[in-house]
Amino acid sequence: MSKAFDNLRLYAGVVKRVGYTLTLGMLHSGFRDELLKLYNSCSGQEPSGDDTPMDPFVIPKTDVFELFGNDAAAYEGVYECGFGHTTEFELKVISNLVKKWNPRRIFEIGTFQGRTTLNMALNSGSDTEIVTLDLPAGELASTKMDIEDGEVRYVKKEVSGERFIGHPAASKIRQVFGDSASFSFDEYKDSVDVAFIDGSHAYEYVLNDSEKVFPIMRKGGLIIWHDYTNWPGVWTALNELYEHDSRFRGLRHIGGTSIAILTL
Ligand SMILES: C[S@@+](CC[C@H](N)C(=O)[O-])C[C@H]1O[C@@H](n2cnc3c(N)ncnc32)[C@H](O)[C@@H]1O
């Protein structure tokens, strides 16, 4: 009953948002961006393989880091984002967080093309190890729990980690494969300073992945979640953890992004 109510609330929220986006929202660039994303996703373009941004805006970009001069990070492929990636600004935020935390080991759940993996490698020390876990396409049908239909395309990419394979920074990156629900994290116990959770966005998986990274984190470590504002499974799980599990009371959402963080 409460699930049906939740779905109804979600549906009503979507109708309200679409209505606003198509009317008053046209006056705001953020909502125009949403329309552009919707247009791109419905225009028959298959994102896999070609991530050329469909951006009709000619005005040069800037952001708060550039304006206020406190962007300490280095980037590659920051503007080459499309489906399944962090946004440009989110990548800068993650890169700056990594730089600030100066981690000895990073653990990422969900490699995809490895754009964030590469940038985390570029912004950490020469002896940092970045472990990135990805679900092989061949294991799609045998995951322990159901992943969302909308993310199958990210599992079925041609190459996992193509953005860093062959790059000099790849020597710091260790690729591991498996389903995060059955993967053994034991080897990494108490050794991770930054974890990036961006695998399956299904509610059960977000709960699973959030639980699985806890024992591998060092004290003072940082957990980063992506897509808090974009996927119902992510926000439902994180809201629930924040409200009902005292270990997650320190969760914070970074404004202007879909990133949530927790410092341990
Ligand atoms: C949105 S993409 C990750 C994007 C990447 N972190 C980035 O920032 O560019 C999601 C990734 O999670 C992987 N994935 C999905 N379900 C998974 C699971 N159960 N275990 C491990 N990886 C999973 C997919 O194969 C895909 O590569």
pLDDT at 26: 66
Percent of the chain with pLDDT over 90: 64
- Nearest ligand 1 atom to the CA of 112 is 27
pLDDT tens across 51-88, in order? 555 556 566 667 777 777 778 888 888 777 667 788 88
Task: Return the minimum-mean-pLDDT range out of 84-98, 130-144, 201-215, 224-238.
Answer: 84-98
CA 162, 81, 32 angle in degrees (round to 5)?
A: 160
Task: State whether the beta carbon of 205 lies less than 6 angstroms from ligand 1.
Answer: yes
- Nearest ligand 1 atom to the CA of 205 is 19
Task: State whether the beta carbon of 260 lies less than 6 angstroms from ligand 1.
Answer: no
In the predicted model, is pLDDT for residue 193 greater than 80? yes
Task: State whether the beta carbon of 208 lies less than 6 angstroms from ligand 1.
Answer: no
pLDDT at 56: 63
Nearest C-alpha to atom 25 of ligand 1 is from which residue?
155
Check if the beta carbon of residue 230 is closer than 8 Å to that of residue 258.
yes
Cα 200 to ligand 1 centre (Å): 6
Give the alpha-carbon dihedral of 68, 88, 57, 37, to 10 degrees. Answer: -140
How far is the CA of 185 from the CAs of 72, 100, 175, in angstroms? 31, 25, 14
pLDDT at 144: 98
Cα 155 to ligand 1 centre (Å): 7
- CA-nearest of 118, 116, 54, 111 to 89 is 116
How far is the CA of 66 from the CAs of 69, 71, 143, 200, 258, in angstroms? 5, 7, 42, 32, 20
Cα 122 to ligand 1 centre (Å): 20
Check if the beta carbon of residue 32 is closer than 8 Å to that of residue 26.
yes
**What tokens appear for 62 in the block?**
């800037």
pLDDT at 72: 82
Residues sharing a CB contact under 8 Å with residue 207, sequence separation 6 or more, in sequence order: 237, 240, 241
pLDDT at 85: 81
Task: Return the minimum-mean-pLDDT range out of 16-20, 162-166, 227-231.
Answer: 16-20
Q: If you average pLDDT over residues 13-37, what whole number do you get? A: 68
In the predicted model, is pLDDT for residue 239 greater than 90? yes
- Nearest ligand 1 atom to the CA of 113 is 9
In the numeric block, the tokens 């791109």 are attached to 40
Q: If you average pLDDT over residues 152-176, what whole number do you get? A: 97
Q: Band of the pLDDT at 14, cuts 50, 70, 90? A: confident
Task: State whether the beta carbon of 235 lies less than 6 angstroms from ligand 1.
Answer: no
pLDDT at 192: 98
Cα 198 to ligand 1 centre (Å): 6
Q: How many CB atoms lie within 10 A of CB 172?
A: 21
pLDDT at 43: 42
Q: Distance of alpha carbon 38 from its chain centroid, rounded?
A: 19
3-state DSSP of 222-264: EEEECCCCCCHHHHHHHHHHHHHCHHHCCCEECCCCCCEEEEC
Q: Band of the pLDDT at 157, cuts 50, 70, 90? A: very high
Task: State whether the beta carbon of 209 lies less than 6 angstroms from ligand 1.
Answer: no
- Nearest ligand 1 atom to the CA of 145 is 19
